[in-house]
């Protein structure tokens, strides 16, 4: 689950007050006159100098004369533009079991900006959690920081949250707006959303095919991917929790299904084979399942949120026929063969989400 959080100062008046207060102190300390007095008093000739720290971290030595009034005014005008619409912190959920995005966002706020939190708006792609799990509730953290406004992309479908985080913040007096860029936020968290809403992993089907629709030669594999698209396949594996092939592909291709051309963790390797399951065959570092339902149950129980199905044709078609898919990626190479194993039938409810060309091959991403 990835959540991005931005803390945005919403009130320029508070910044103006902070700056005005600081400047008044400077005036009182160095010029020893009453703040907000007539400008005429500043016309008193003075040979003293004071040090003013600029917001860019530089220090300026300025003479305390009538001209300092204009400098103060310029600084206040600068802060009017500077204080509003500024991101003062951001974060994301790096890995399972560690701090959520909100925790990392608050940790990124500079000490000098912490006074702005009670005038800030926090933007979250997913509703802040409200329960104790691996980490404390993020809704409580937001409340404790004095945030006055929260913009939330989508509601968390997890059974222990489901609007409770939103309600907790509202009960604490925080203004909460829900549904901003909801489609994009749901897409950003698609694995997490699918896992909790449908009680199964997010399922991605992928295959490579020839220009005339064959995925392999009869009796043997067919190399269709380019070195670059092969690397992208390894990236895809690294981004998902499990990967599956059927019995025939396992025996004929001897696939490694690892991420050797990318950095990251190898996904759990699963072979769908009633035969091997009946024989109690257990290849090293492989999970053997007899049915699709067994695969789904295993992944849900072990909290694996995503599955890539790489083949072969009968296995891919079985998932399509069951309606068990969320995304399909098809790589088409400019190659023609006269005979071979035909590609699976594309579901009627699939629509093209994205098309890209890489090294002469076309990659189409289909979604529901």
Residue 308 parent element (H or E): strand 306-311
Task: Single out the residue of 351, 297, 295, 286 nearest to residue 319, CA to CA.
Answer: 295
C-alpha triplet 87, 89, 92: angle, nearest 5°:
120
Catalytic residue among 84, 90, 98, 102: 102
Tokens of 173: 């007096």
Enumerate residues 6+ apart whose C-beta is below 8 A from 81. Answer: none
Q: Where are the beta strands (DSSP E) in 134-289?
A: 149-154, 175-178, 202-209, 214-216, 242-246, 268-272, 287-289
Token look-up 């083949």 returns 311
- Where would I find the beta strands (DSSP E) of 165-267? 175-178, 202-209, 214-216, 242-246
Nearest to 142 by CA among 14, 13, 6, 15: 6
Element housing 26 (H / E): helix 12-26
Is 102 annotated in the active site? yes
Catalytic site residues? 102
């Amino acid at each position: 689950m990835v959540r991005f959080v931005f803390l945005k100062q919403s009130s320029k008046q508070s910044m103006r007050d902070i700056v005005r207060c600081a400047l008044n102190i400077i005036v009182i300390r160095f010029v020893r006159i009453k703040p907000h007095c007539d400008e005429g008093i500043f016309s008193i000739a003075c040979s003293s100098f004071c040090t003013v720290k600029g917001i860019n971290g530089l220090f300026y030595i300025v003479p305390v004369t009538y001209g300092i009034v204009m400098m103060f005014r310029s600084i206040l005008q600068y802060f009017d533009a500077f204080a509003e619409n500024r991101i003062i912190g951001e974060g994301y959920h790096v890995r399972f079991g560690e701090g959520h995005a909100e925790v990392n966002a608050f940790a990124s706020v500079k000490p000098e900006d912490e006074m702005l939190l009670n005038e800030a708006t926090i933007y979250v792609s997913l509703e802040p959690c409200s329960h104790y799990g691996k980490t404390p509730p993020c809704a409580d953290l937001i409340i404790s920081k004095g945030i006055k406004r929260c913009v939330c992309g989508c509601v968390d479908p997890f059974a222990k949250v489901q609007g409770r985080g939103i309600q907790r913040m509202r009960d604490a007096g925080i203004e909460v707006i829900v549904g901003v860029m909801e489609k994009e936020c749901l897409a950003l968290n698609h694995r997490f959303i699918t896992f909790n809403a449908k009680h199964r992993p997010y399922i991605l089907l992928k295959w490579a095919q020839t220009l005339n629709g064959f995925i392999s030669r009869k009796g043997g594999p067919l190399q269709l991917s380019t070195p670059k698209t092969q690397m992208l396949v390894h990236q895809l594996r690294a981004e998902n929790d499990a990967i599956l092939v059927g019995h025939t592909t396992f025996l004929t291709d001897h696939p490694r299904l690892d991420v050797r051309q990318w950095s990251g963790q190898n996904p759990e390797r699963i072979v769908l084979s009633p035969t091997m399951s009946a024989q109690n065959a257990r290849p090293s570092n492989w999970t053997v399942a007899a049915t699709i339902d067994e695969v789904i149950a295993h992944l849900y129980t072990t909290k694996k949120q995503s599955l890539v199905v790489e083949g072969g044709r009968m296995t891919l078609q079985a998932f399509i026929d069951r309606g068990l898919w969320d995304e399909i990626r098809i790589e088409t190479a400019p190659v023609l063969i006269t005979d071979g194993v035909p590609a699976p039938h594309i579901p009627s409810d699939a629509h093209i989400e994205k098309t890209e060309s890489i090294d002469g091959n076309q990659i189409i991403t289909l979604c529901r």
